[in-house]
Structure 1
Amino acid sequence: MSVQAKLKKPKTNRLVVKRGTVPPSVFLHTVSDKEWEEFIAAACRQRTLGTAKYISVKVLGNAGDKGRDVEARLQAALIADGWDLYQAKHYEHRLTPGNAYPEFVKFFGHLLAGSFPVPRKYYFCAPKNVGPELHDLLANPDNLRTGLLRAWKGGTHGLKEHAAKLTPAMEAFINAFDFRRFEECQVVELLDWHAQDSIAHCALFGIEPERGDDPTVPAQAQPYEMTYVEELVRAYAEAEGDPTDLAKVLENEVYREHLDAAREAFYAAEGLKRFSRDIYVEDEFAKLLEMVRKGIRLKVNSPLLKTGLQRHDAAIDAAQGLTVTDSVLHVRLRGGDLPGTCHHLVNEKRFTWVR
């Protein structure tokens, strides 16, 4: 073996963008206004606030939405400080104060009219994020308030036609309002939240899970695999009609070869288990194990099978013949995976070979 081969690092489990697919942040530049709103809503449904998630998330962006593109509630009732408003702006450029101020006019008009309660946060969401001027204003709430009132009174930044709406009552309301509620929600944040649903995220952005190298089979059985190994030793002892232990099995060429093959299959499935853990939020490997358990149970429990090795062989044959396309892992299955799941089921004490 060459030095280069010795130094080669094992390939790890990872997510990769399909060939010809643009990165997610770039792809979002190409979606429609409605698709942008739906993406924001999908991301919000995965967002964790402390240890909780939003109770409900709804796209309202349409005629009569009262300036609420996406409404995300922290509890069932729509109450003051109990919901967040996500304002979706899908423009070719970064957002400017001229984009934000008209939205503020609409927002404050509805608040003063009692159309909806005050939100906890008001987020600006744009594929190219906010520009430097609006960024600085959002970072300094007092300057944001001053800038809005100055533009409103001066009829600049697209507010000329709204001058009559700045009544004394409106100005007093704005001066009393906490402008720290206004924030930017960056694309990177939305993508991080959306990625929590890894299946939907990969499907939307053309991302494929790539399975790395399976773990190397240790020379000696490890403590965490001893349950299925000891069950195989019991099956060998039953076949011999004589008590035996692991040390004696390893001295027997036939049984040692069989045990080595079983351990190789176990570690193949262990590679699939680690891939599932690294890529998916939900325990997809556990779901696959349950599919295999149901698929082989009738065969393994046949009264015609008299010995542990017969039950073992029946389980392996049945597992290899299963169709598990309902599992998201099926496209990344390798030759030893399904036989290996049988040993994982025994290792979890969900099957035994010897009755």
Structure 2
Amino acid sequence: MKTQPLSSPERPKNTSRIFDTTEPQLRLKTMGEDEFERVVGEWAYSCLRKEKKYSNVALLGGSGDSGRDLVAYIDDNMQKFDIYQCKRYEKPLSPSIYMIEFGKLCYYTYIGEYAVPNKYYIVASNGIGQSLRKLIEHPKQINTELINTWDEKCGKKRQIIAEGIKMTDSLRKYIEEFDFSIVSDIAPITLLDEFSKSPWYKYHFGGGIKKRPTFEKPSEQLKKSEKTMPYVKQLLKVYSKEAGQVYETQEDLKNNQKLYKHFMRQREGFFQHNH
């Protein structure tokens, strides 16, 4: 199993989607597997690592991930961690699809390949279905369902390991006692909301053009406090030099409409920058 420490994602070569107006949840549902993996990696780097204060976040995705696509370490010793299992499916996840992942979680912690995580999050492009949610809301039912379906969903050759896994008394007892209350999900809308704050969001979901913030224009007449501000004095000095005559006040400048209009535009820019 190869751990890939997260590094800062690179700017995509294809930036055409920056101006896409497709609804983000629809884009998430229909994007390909490779792009979904990139989204998860970028989300992990920008949101999990920085905002949730994990000491480190690593991608373990691949054929040998042992049921851990993404691991977020809580302590520097890397002994306490959360698992984020990321799945891209065309439909919401059902128990029949996901039971093998619960099997991996139990089997690999049973043999001691890694410790039981503090939390286990399901991150799915289409979310989880009603039946799987009911199991998560009643975690003891996962224990029963996993044992009852082990031979079909987890125990066969090349399902979890090449030689298959027989349900021994010891493994059965371990699964019966496993605390599945650590399992929850991150809804697609939550993933999108968190990811939208990252600089890479626009490359997948658009929204590259930002509206300029609105601001209240200053009144035409300078306030008493504004008349002595350095930027006003400096502008009047420049205008005086340009026109070859002295402009000491706003009223003086009204005699030259070209310079006066320029002065008003400069005031608006000053207020926009400082408010």
Q: Do Structure 1 and Structure 2 share a fold, with TM-score over 0.5?
A: yes
Partner in structure 2 of residue 161 of structure 1: 156
Q: Secondary structure at the match of 1:184?
A: strand
Partner in structure 2 of residue 190 of structure 1: 191
For 1:228 and 1:43, how far apart are their aligned partners in 2? 49
- Which string of whole-angstrom CA distances, capped at 9 and with x for unpartnered residues, describes residues 47-75 of structure 1? 36996433332221112221211122233
CA RMSD in angstroms, aligned pairs only: 3.6
Partner in structure 2 of residue 71 of structure 1: 71
User: Structure 2 counterpart of 1:189, which letter?
Assistant: T
User: Structure 1 counterpart of 2:107, which letter?
Assistant: G
Q: 1:88 aligns with which of 86, 89, 99?
A: 86
Contact in 1 for aligned 2:84/2:121 (Cα 8 Å): yes
Partner in structure 1 of residue 62 of structure 2: 62
218 and 105 in structure 1: CA distance in 2 versus 1, 3 angstrom threshold: same
Contact in 1 for aligned 2:49/2:56 (Cα 8 Å): no
For 1:74 and 1:226, how far apart are their aligned partners in 2? 53
- Which string of whole-angstrom CA distances, capped at 9 and with x for unpartnered residues, describes residues 242-294 of structure 1? xxxxxx613313489646634423434755x5xxxxxxxxxxxxxxxxxxxxx
For 1:39 and 1:63, how far apart are their aligned partners in 2? 19
For 2:214 and 2:99, how far apart are their aligned partners in 1? 55
208 and 170 in structure 1: CA distance in 2 versus 1, 3 angstrom threshold: same
184 and 229 in structure 1: CA distance in 2 versus 1, 3 angstrom threshold: same
Partner in structure 2 of residue 265 of structure 1: 266
User: Structure 1 counterpart of 2:184, which letter?
Assistant: E
Q: Secondary structure at the match of 2:249?
A: helix
- Which string of whole-angstrom CA distances, capped at 9 and with x for unpartnered residues, describes residues 7-59 of structure 1? xxxxxxxxxx9776422222223333333222122212233699643333222
Q: Secondary structure at the match of 1:252?
A: helix
Higher relative contact order (CA 8 A, sep 6+): 2
Q: CA deviation at 1:135?
A: 0.8
Structure 2 unmatched ranges of 5 or more: 1-16, 158-163, 241-247
52 and 64 in structure 1: CA distance in 2 versus 1, 3 angstrom threshold: closer
Aligned identity (percent) is 23
Q: Secondary structure at the match of 2:156?
A: helix
221 and 107 in structure 1: CA distance in 2 versus 1, 3 angstrom threshold: farther
For 2:32 and 2:192, how far apart are their aligned partners in 1? 17
For 2:48 and 2:223, how far apart are their aligned partners in 1? 37
TM-score (norm 1): 0.58
User: Structure 2 counterpart of 1:122, which letter?
Assistant: Y
239 and 133 in structure 1: CA distance in 2 versus 1, 3 angstrom threshold: closer
Structure 1 unmatched ranges of 5 or more: 1-16, 241-247, 274-343, 348-355
Contact in 2 for aligned 1:125/1:184 (Cα 8 Å): yes
Q: CA deviation at 1:115?
A: 1.0
Aligned residues: 245
46 and 109 in structure 1: CA distance in 2 versus 1, 3 angstrom threshold: same
Which protein is richer in helix relative to its size? 1
Contact in 2 for aligned 1:125/1:186 (Cα 8 Å): yes
262 and 236 in structure 1: CA distance in 2 versus 1, 3 angstrom threshold: closer
Q: CA deviation at 1:180?
A: 1.3
